[in-house]
Amino acid sequence: MKATTLSNPAAYGTDYEIVDSFFGNQSHSEEGKNNNKWFMGELHRRKDGWVVYTNYGRVGDPGVHQIYGPMSEMAARKEFADKRKDKLLRKKDPYLEVALAECAVGSLLARGRSVGHIDAETLARRAAPTEPVEAKAKAAPKPAGPTLDPELRAFVADLFGTSKKSLESQAAVTITAKGMRTPAGVLTIASIKKGEEALEELIALVQKQASKGVVEDMAAVSSAFFSAIPHDLGRKRPPVLSTLNEIGEKQELCQLMRDMLAVNGGETGGIIASDDVGLKYAQLGCEVRALGGAEMREVKAIVEKSVIRGGVTVRRVYAVRRPAEWAAFEATGQPVGNVKYGFHGSGFPNWTGILTRGLLMPALVVAHGGKLTDFGWLGRGKYFGKEACTARNYAQSRSPGGRGTYVMAVCGVALGKQAEYRKITRGLTRPPAGADSCWGVRGSEFSDNEWVVYNVDKNGSTVQSDRIEYVVEFN
């Protein structure tokens, strides 16, 4: 059936019902293929019959609007099904179906409504009641004094601002009160999960022996990632993610997306875009207090005296208490014993998320020089430096403006009985029998003393092996 192109989509009006719709995105990393396209299909019931409405174009463009019909219901449903099959189910170069919590393309009535299957997590987030700003601020964990310390206020503002800027500079998204908006609409949690699944598949491919087939598979799976997580690439071909370093950067991006959704305060929260720093502090969900005087000097000494090469100069110290984490550590971590301070560094944009949900078992661990090996030289665990200079190597991006500082956490770590390693032993997911943690010993194949915990003890019981006690700004 021949299409009618709408030169003025608004003239189509709003006197119709959307019976069904789908949205597909296509970003190709393969050589010689057309890149960065999207397609929206809708089935409309109107007074004068049924219509199939399409809107398609390149990422960032408003695209072309076309209609097929009016026609009978049977003919329209067949036309719509054929369009869906042709775009999403064809064998060669199909579009990836992407669910949008709120659509920004398509017909006038499609704008602002969801399209595709919306996952339960996104539905719950959008349905969650949102407290008024005043109530959130009132319920916020308070540092000493009636208002936020100026140093803490500046730190929190920098955390949120840097995280937002980092995310929006890497992906074609804008953080709004409604969520993570792309040129096509608001992404769902399911889209982020699709991106993460593609990255896990890429890790498996990278770890295989290089061959033509593997390289081709990498390009196809990279395309799936960029189709799920839109990037502002214009007409450029998305890169093939062929190294663990590149994949690790995209995993950090997906985690940053999750963290930003978590702190944004629900569908109508808009906390990230707000100028209310007190409200942003409340969304961290933990107690943070700027230290001065003897308290600050004590922590400064712990950090700086641990350094065995290079230099670390502590500029500011914040005491941190994440109530649930502390309770779990006291109940399960402290009984393991041998609790010592360990140092953990990360890029400045990551700290909004870390303070909100704590340290995660990483998908990939950054090794010295900013390159990624596999899940770390002692497997998939949480890594802490015995000396602060080790954490310094992981804190690879700093705060903006005049502060210019890096960030590390000073953590209480329940090490228990440590298994010493002098050779890199990849693939570990728990300590060896009889041990509670692992120690990569400096001066062997390890250039630094690295402690690794896996949140299990020598008996196989789940434990909270660490807790954040201080966050330190340094240079």
Q: What is the DSSP string of 368-383?
A: GGG-B-SS-TT-SSEE
Kindly compute the dihedral angle of the four CA atoms of residues 292, 298, 302, 304, in this order, to the nearest 10 degrees: 60
This prediction's pTM: 0.80
- pLDDT for position 449: 97
Please state, rounded to an integer, the average pLDDT across all residues of the chain. Answer: 86
- pLDDT for position 133: 43
Rg (CA), the chain: 25
Q: What proportion of the chain, given as a percentage, has pLDDT over 90?
A: 55
- pLDDT for position 124: 63
Kindly compute the dihedral angle of the four CA atoms of residues 424, 425, 427, 429, in this order, to the nearest 10 degrees: -110
Per-residue pLDDT band for 301 (boundaries 50, 70, 90) equals: very high
Tokens of 300: 């400064």
Q: H/E element holding 247?
A: helix 244-263
- pLDDT for position 211: 59
Residue, of 366 and 29, whose pLDDT is higher: 29
The angle, 0 to 180 degrees and rounded to 10, between the axes of the packed helices 189-206 and 212-228 is: 160
pLDDT over threshold 50, residue 371: no
Residues 320-330, mean pLDDT to the nearest whole number:
97
| CA–CA gap between residue 344 and residue 190 (Å, rounded) | 30
CB count within 10 Å of CB 15 equals 10
Residues 93-119, mean pLDDT to the nearest whole number:
88
Residues 3-22, mean pLDDT to the nearest whole number:
95
- pLDDT for position 123: 57
Comparing 9-13, 409-413, 457-461, which segment has the lowest mean pLDDT?
A: 457-461
Residues 16-44, mean pLDDT to the nearest whole number:
86
- pLDDT for position 269: 59
pLDDT (tens digit per residue) in 112-132 = 999 987 666 665 655 555 444
- pLDDT for position 19: 97
Residues 80-105, mean pLDDT to the nearest whole number:
92
End-to-end Cα distance, the chain? 66
Bridge partners (DSSP) listed for residue 181: 174, 186
- pLDDT for position 376: 76
| CA–CA gap between residue 175 and residue 466 (Å, rounded) | 31
| CA–CA gap between residue 328 and residue 300 (Å, rounded) | 27
- pLDDT for position 145: 35
Q: Cite the beta strand spans of 210-305 per DSSP E.
A: 287-290
pLDDT over threshold 80, residue 95: yes
Tokens of 224: 């799936």
Best-predicted range by mean pLDDT among 54-63, 122-131, 187-196, 307-316?
A: 307-316
**Angle (nearest 5°) at CA 222 between 114 and 193:** 40
List, in sequence order, the alpha helices (H) in 73-184: 73-84, 120-127, 133-139, 150-170
Per-residue pLDDT band for 345 (boundaries 50, 70, 90) equals: very high
- pLDDT for position 315: 96
pLDDT over threshold 90, residue 437: yes
Question: DSSP letter string over 279-314?
Answer: HHHHHH-SEEEE--HHHHHHHHHHHHHH--SS---E
Tokens of 240: 């093939």
- pLDDT for position 272: 83
Comparing 109-123, 252-266, 349-363, 445-459, which segment has the lowest mean pLDDT?
A: 109-123
